[in-house]
Amino acid sequence: MRWESWMSILWVLVSACSCIPAILSGSADTLCIRAAFAALPLTGLMNGGAASTRTKKTILVDMDNTLVDWEESFNRHMKIHHPEVPLLQPHQRQQWHHAKDFPPEHFDTVEAITGVAGFWRTMRPNDYGIEAVKEMLSEGHDVFLVSAPDPNCTDLCAYEKVQWVVDQLGVEWKQRLILTRDKTLIRGDILFDDKPTVVDGLMEPIWRHVFFTQPYNKRFDDRPRIDKWQDWRRALDEASVEKGG
């Protein structure tokens, strides 16, 4: 077996170990374990590590404020449960961590709203997002939805994200959902994500980060980006050239 194959196996073992605390506490499910195996080049293992000549890519797609409109759900639930808290205009959103954009006296309130039942499951897809991921798959790419559960309501968030996928994409997409707090552990070619610091983690990411534009990431000009999902092919081509693939 060639060294590339051994490195792939080692990657899986390192990734799987990150799930051990959750497993021991009983809070992990197959979504956690699946993260270790996501986008693993099994064909490479079977043929001795030889590189595939196919041009298909492994595309990773973030959910919150990328595939789905997190801001709309936040504003809708705040109006229902805390109408006394003034909401922000889009240009006032300067931090990825939304609570940091609010005055200190509202920090705990806006942090807690994500734990309201239905917050995650009722999120609306961003325009053309559903069509885009289906197009990726139909054109031969491997597509995985990679999302980080909210640490303030991990169980609810994870459960509702699964339900959202089933509701919006169908039960067959459950196997394409990966929940992890560290996306650098996931193998892939391209990651569409709104978060500026998504590249920071335990591992050096092997994917190329493509921004999905939001007000708080506009000041970063060191990575390719898309403003709308209709542009995913262009971004994929540009990122592939930069990545050398």
Residue 59 contacts residue 144 (beta carbons within 8 Å)? yes
Domain positions in the chain: 54-69+122-243
155: annotated active-site residue: no
Classify 144 as helix, strand or coil: strand
Find the catalytic residue in 29, 62, 193, 222. 62
pLDDT at 155 over 50: yes
Residue 94 contacts residue 131 (beta carbons within 8 Å)? no
Residue 146 contacts residue 61 (beta carbons within 8 Å)? yes
pLDDT at 178 over 60: yes
Neighbours of 39 (CB within 10 A): 20
**Single-letter amino acid code for the residue at 18:** S
Name the DSSP class of 187.
Answer: -
Residue 239: predicted pLDDT: 77
* pLDDT: which is higher, 241 or 229: 229
Residue 94: predicted pLDDT: 86
Q: What percent of the chain has pLDDT over 70?
A: 76
Residue 91: predicted pLDDT: 82
CA atoms within 13 A on the CB side of 162: 12
Stretch (H or E) spanning 32: helix 30-37
User: For residue 40, what are the contacts with CB-CB under 8 A and spacing of at least 6?
Assistant: 8, 11, 12, 187
* pLDDT: which is higher, 169 or 2: 169
Residue 23: predicted pLDDT: 40
* pLDDT: which is higher, 143 or 20: 143
pLDDT at 125 over 90: yes
Q: Class of 54-69+122-243 per CATH?
A: alpha beta
Residue 73: predicted pLDDT: 97
101: annotated active-site residue: no
Find the catalytic residue in 64, 69, 189, 194. 64
pLDDT in tens, 81-101: 999 999 998 888 888 888 889
Residue 58 contacts residue 187 (beta carbons within 8 Å)? yes
- Read off the pTM: 0.78
Which of 72-86, 93-107, 224-238 shows the lowest per-residue confidence on average (mean pLDDT)? 93-107
Residue 55: predicted pLDDT: 83
Neighbours of 158 (CB within 10 A): 21
Nearest Cα to Cα of residue 183 among 192, 171, 170, 175: 192
